Homo-oligomer: A and B are copies of this chain.
Amino acid sequence: MDRVFNFAAGPSAMPAEALETAAREMLCYGESGMSVMEMSHRSKAYQDIFDGTVALVRELMNVPEDYEVLLLQGGATGQFAAIPMNLMGEGDSADYIDSGNFAHIAMNEAQKYGGVRCVASSREENYRRIPDWTQADFDPNAKYVYITTNNTIFGTRYARLPETGDVPLVADMSSNILSEVYDLRRFGAVYAGAQKNIGPAGVTLVIVRRDLLGRARKSCPQIMNWTIMAEKGSMLNTPPTYAIYMCGLCLKWLKEQGGVAAIEKVNIEKSKLLYDLLDESAFYRPAAEAASRSRMNVTFTTPDKDTDALFVKEAAARGLVNLKGHRLVGGIRASIYNAMPLEGVRALADFMKDFEMEHR
């Protein structure tokens, strides 16, 4: 069976080179005589793999020295609770921008632990754009301002970041981390589930400025406590060892592509190819507002729901799979993360033109 072009929103396509290395090393890694899966997380061989993965994160994201890099479990959903428990004391509050379904869930989860102000929301427009805000909207006493840099379901992206002064900006970057250059000094903490642009599901990357540690409330479960995890080098308990190894292989691939600045150019080219096609077409309609367009998740519709479904079906027959939009938006969604080659996006664009010719 040939490999398909997989446009899934996450878990999603991974570099074939990383998978080939993993297959080759599955029964025996180097001179260890065992699979990485079988290694004690306390062994030197595994610590080297772990440290190498963290070093690649630091290098590729240009992580400043005074930021900790943590590799945890529990996904973004775990961090929805961890963030307030690590950054807010009893009686404190935080500002949230409600730009999508996951931002909204994060806001709801945070309300279990402290005061939450919704600074701006595009919920009533079904999140088709990043909501507007002005400087005056933010509470200078907030413990943090929370954003979701890319909204997977709706296909939107912050084209500019809020200026939050001394209040730390905290960002869920799950669906666009490593896809474009960010200056981490703009943030107090960023985090991401691995399963879109880092590696397989089961790892959560957290990068936090060191001066924000030491604030976790006592009731924070140990595995969610950034301070304890930083002290223990992310190994308070057994980490998801193999998934972290896979992240390392994927990051190595990204470095070989030239790193984040280089892949950002490819990502701009890939997304432009599709958006130009959508803008020129009277058949397809882009779902997200132009100024808020994501480079990772391109959402659109055909003239009607039946045609949407036919599109997804016929695309799959051409080896272009997982194009069905999320139920909250409908239509079609092409997720084109770092591991989706330009060739795959070209194949999709060609199919889109053919499909339009046939069905308009």
Contacts and interface: CB of A to CB of B under 8 A. Distances in A.
Interface of A: 1-4, 6, 8-14, 16, 19-20, 22-24, 26-28, 30-35, 37-41, 43, 73-78, 80-82, 85, 109, 112-113, 193, 195, 200-203, 218-219, 221-224, 236-243, 246, 319, 321-322
B8 A202 contact: no
A27 to B, nearest CB: 5
B242 A243 contact: yes
A26 B26 contact: yes
B40 A9 contact: yes
A221 B34 contact: no
Count copies of this chain in the complex. 2
B74 A223 contact: yes
A238 B10 contact: yes
Contacts of A14: 35, 37-38
A200 B40 CA distance: 11
Contact of A222 (B3, B81, B201, B238): B81
A22 B242 CA distance: 13
Contacts of A4: 32-34
A180 B253 CA distance: 43
A239 B193 CA distance: 11
B221 A43 contact: no
B113 A219 contact: yes
Contacts of A195: 238, 241
Contact of A78 (B219, B223, B243): B223
A38 B20 contact: no
A26 B19 contact: yes
6 contacts: A11-B38, A13-B38, A23-B26, A73-B202, A80-B222, A202-B203
